[in-house]
Chains A and B, each alone.
Chain A
């Protein structure tokens, strides 16, 4: 053995660097418990002559000691606890070489208890092999696992219909299972590479074609593996690099992160979301590379310096200005729930989206998805292992992407301190992208002070200024009450003015349509105008459905303490029976899409300053209530 204690580094360059081997193909094996996943892996290893030396003998010895027949599955189930229980309790991985490509076979447990381990094993997989027992047929877990895989982003799929030996290699049996499962896969948007009849225990169609199933002419498992493909490079997609950290080890201020999609190069103007700051790439930093780096693309973990020292934080998403991620504090998530404690409306947790974290609340459970029938049903809670569509509200604006467009920046993990509760994929749905609403385009702005003080204005008007923000369903009575209140207050000597929905759309907001973004901008402008009029000393009454809490909160922010949220409350049935503009009728007929209360949500105020229930009450009675509120809160007594 070596006796030199003087360590010599490898200085002479390697003779010639060997060509980099092909990337690993990571294949997760899933399916119902006892459908033969681990057996298949054992068999594959044996039939391709890749069992480690002594392993076969070790398993034989182990089985002999336990007084049981030889069990292929022990190759993977190598923890003692598992061998005793006979089920795989956690994901295990095993390396396998075939045809110059290396495979990592990820054994995922089929027992219902252990979905979170399956999710762990499957989330890094490039492809999936789903096992179905030919004798037992398609079972709940056969569907559940595949649905989860689809959510996790695995698209390359093959199906093995196992234990054909137990059904006498019967073609009709196989065709039945094949047809049933193919239809299910189609329902969730997956086209399998192959559906293969096998017997893992006997080795039929595992490494070689089966003589017992001459009716099957397709490929074996081993011939199917090379058909799996890695996802196409994400270089051509829009740039997304979540900011992971900022290092200041020396004079350089390096922003570190991994490019999840797209590419960047020196000189690019970058946009940081949600801070909405911009700066240019000055350098791409690296260590021990062959010369300076000028460009980096999807998949690379890099560091950059900027031309300007802007304040940005871990968790922001870096993009180009064109094709930026969306920003919102309310959005849809399709989630899989892993926690014992069910998810309920109002459940608070933390969301992790890339390196970013934000407090969140479940605002609504839209539906729980029935994995078997692929149908929906209403629910007030989501139990462990269920999949559901929910609406999430976060405590601040976050940046993300629609999962269907850019999956890597369109998914979140739900956590409660050290507990992982579940995962979900995001979409904005009908909620507006709020980026434009919060972007301040002007630079070098300096506000100047008025010479007239607010107190002078209210002294002259003999009342305090403010915004009475009426919100409620169409037909609840907002416009009617707003105009009547304006008249009453005016008669009493108040400086008062109503901003009403259709009125501002002919002028101030004539250039806005009815997209989610335009609706949000409509409300933003009304909020700003109301705040200006209040600043001028007036009482402003606004009459807009303003269904989204986020929009109303922004209006509140504009007007500050002068803002009074007034919930004009009436249930949908009452509003529909009034239907002053005939809109409900048209919405029911499908002429108006996304009609609040019918086909689009109304988010009632959580804590309004005043709530006026108009159901079954006269206009006069409601008006008296409003006038009293104004007298109490706005009249100057001196």
Chain B
């Protein structure tokens, strides 16, 4: 087995554990490269189908190409797509910096989705190498109903035995892609021929490295117009992946505050 086979096999194992032990189960689909890979892995795990709802937390602020991708592949892949409208920014914690406040709309949308204990398991395509607080995540991460994360008191997780039982009123965030890196995602996308949103490819010296809402995400300087060129770029870059995610850099602890209160 090569490196991608090893990563894929473990992710498939995690997805199958989630489906066996954390139902009702749903998956968050941000329609970016990572959650597209999770969808693909789900089709691997379940032999061509995705046997749970796929939820988009919609702020209405995604880039046009993101909506186009969603509409096309939800149909082609026969997805059970659920679109949740996120509450407006005016309802967010006013103590958060402005762009972080905007991002917090997604946590609020997710809290609404989970409000009446509708789901026990939520699949999320985050990776440890994306951001320091995500590096501390468990594969199966128990959360209180409001989504808050007790990173100081996480259960032990070893030998691929995951915490699949939850206390009352809690749910599980399940992270099948946690052990992948950004380059792994691109290599796998290339190997499997997963459709790619054209926003990831450079035009006029800029490309999106990470897709977020258009008001809080910026493209980065790049000439990478193919997956090969993206991989070459990533092999030498020293710029963090989320450099274009403006909210991360508003304050030292912006992203950490978002995550402890339920952000993905």
The chain A residues found within 8 Å of chain B, CB to CB, are: 1-2, 4-11, 13-15, 17-18, 20-24, 50-53, 62, 78-81, 89-95, 102, 116-117, 119-120, 122-124, 152, 244-245, 247, 249, 252, 254, 256, 258, 285-288, 299-301, 303, 314, 338, 352, 355, 411, 413, 415, 417-420, 423
Stretch touching chain A among B1-9, B87-95, B99-107, B108-116: B1-9
* B133 at the A interface (CB under 8 A): yes
Interfacial chain B residues near A50, Cβ < 8 Å: 238
B9 x A300 contact (CB < 8 A): yes
A258 x B201 contact (CB < 8 A): no
Nearest opposing residue in chain A for B238, CB measure: A53
A249 x B46 contact (CB < 8 A): yes
Interfacial chain A residues near B133, Cβ < 8 Å: 78-79
Q: How far is the CB of A295 from chain B (nearest CB, A)?
A: 13
Known contacts A53-B240, A287-B44; 17 additional CB pairs below 8 A are A1-B206, A7-B195, A7-B197, A10-B195, A15-B228, A20-B187, A51-B238, A81-B151, A91-B136, A92-B132, A117-B154, A120-B158, A245-B16, A245-B19, A287-B43, A299-B6, A420-B155
Q: Contacts A2-B65, A53-B239, A249-B46; is A120 near B157 (CB within 8 Å)?
A: yes
Q: How far is the CB of A542 from chain B (nearest CB, A)?
A: 42
B44 x A288 contact (CB < 8 A): yes
Interfacial chain B residues near A80, Cβ < 8 Å: 252-253, 256
* B122 at the A interface (CB under 8 A): no
B135 x A93 contact (CB < 8 A): yes
Q: How far is the CB of B184 from chain A (nearest CB, A)?
A: 9
Majority secondary structure of chain A interface residues (helix, strand, loop or mixed): loop
Interfacial chain B residues near A18, Cβ < 8 Å: 187, 190, 228, 231
Interfacial chain A residues near B158, Cβ < 8 Å: 119-120, 122-124, 152, 413, 423
A299 x B1 contact (CB < 8 A): yes
A7 x B128 contact (CB < 8 A): no
B16 x A244 contact (CB < 8 A): yes
A17 x B159 contact (CB < 8 A): no
A247 x B46 contact (CB < 8 A): yes
Q: How far is the CB of B215 from chain A (nearest CB, A)?
A: 15
Contacting A at CB under 8 A, from B168-217, are 170, 179, 181, 187, 189-199, 201, 203-204, 206, 208
Q: How far is the CB of A154 from chain B (nearest CB, A)?
A: 11
* B48 at the A interface (CB under 8 A): yes
Interface residues as binary, B155-170 with A (CB distance below 8 Å gives 1, 0 otherwise): 1111101010111001
The chain B residues found within 8 Å of chain A, CB to CB, are: 1-6, 8-10, 12-13, 16-17, 19-20, 43-49, 51, 64-65, 68-69, 72, 128-129, 132-133, 135-136, 138, 142, 151-152, 154-159, 161, 163, 165-167, 170, 179, 181, 187, 189-199, 201, 203-204, 206, 208, 219, 226-228, 231, 238-240, 252-253, 256
B16 x A301 contact (CB < 8 A): yes
Interfacial chain B residues near A81, Cβ < 8 Å: 151-152
A413 x B161 contact (CB < 8 A): yes
B9 x A123 contact (CB < 8 A): no
- Bound state CA distance, A521 and B75, in angstroms? 61
Closest 3 CB pairs of A and B: A9-B195, A123-B158, A78-B132
Interfacial chain B residues near A249, Cβ < 8 Å: 46-47, 49, 51
Nearest opposing residue in chain B for A352, CB measure: B161
Interfacial chain A residues near B203, Cβ < 8 Å: 1-2
Q: Contacts A10-B196, A95-B181; is A5 near B256 (CB within 8 Å)?
A: no
- Bound state CA distance, A95 and B238, in angstroms? 12
A20 x B4 contact (CB < 8 A): yes
- Bound state CA distance, A82 and B203, in angstroms? 41
A285 x B151 contact (CB < 8 A): no
- Bound state CA distance, A432 and B16, in angstroms? 34
Nearest opposing residue in chain B for A80, CB measure: B253
Q: How far is the CB of B3 from chain A (nearest CB, A)?
A: 5
A10 x B227 contact (CB < 8 A): yes
A4 x B198 contact (CB < 8 A): yes
Q: How far is the CB of B227 from chain A (nearest CB, A)?
A: 6
B1 x A300 contact (CB < 8 A): yes
B136 x A79 contact (CB < 8 A): yes
A23 x B3 contact (CB < 8 A): yes
Nearest opposing residue in chain A for B133, CB measure: A79
Nearest opposing residue in chain A for B128, CB measure: A93
Q: How far is the CB of A56 from chain B (nearest CB, A)?
A: 11
- Bound state CA distance, A38 and B88, in angstroms? 41
Q: Which of A1, A20, A62, A117 contacts B3 (CB 8 A)?
A: A20
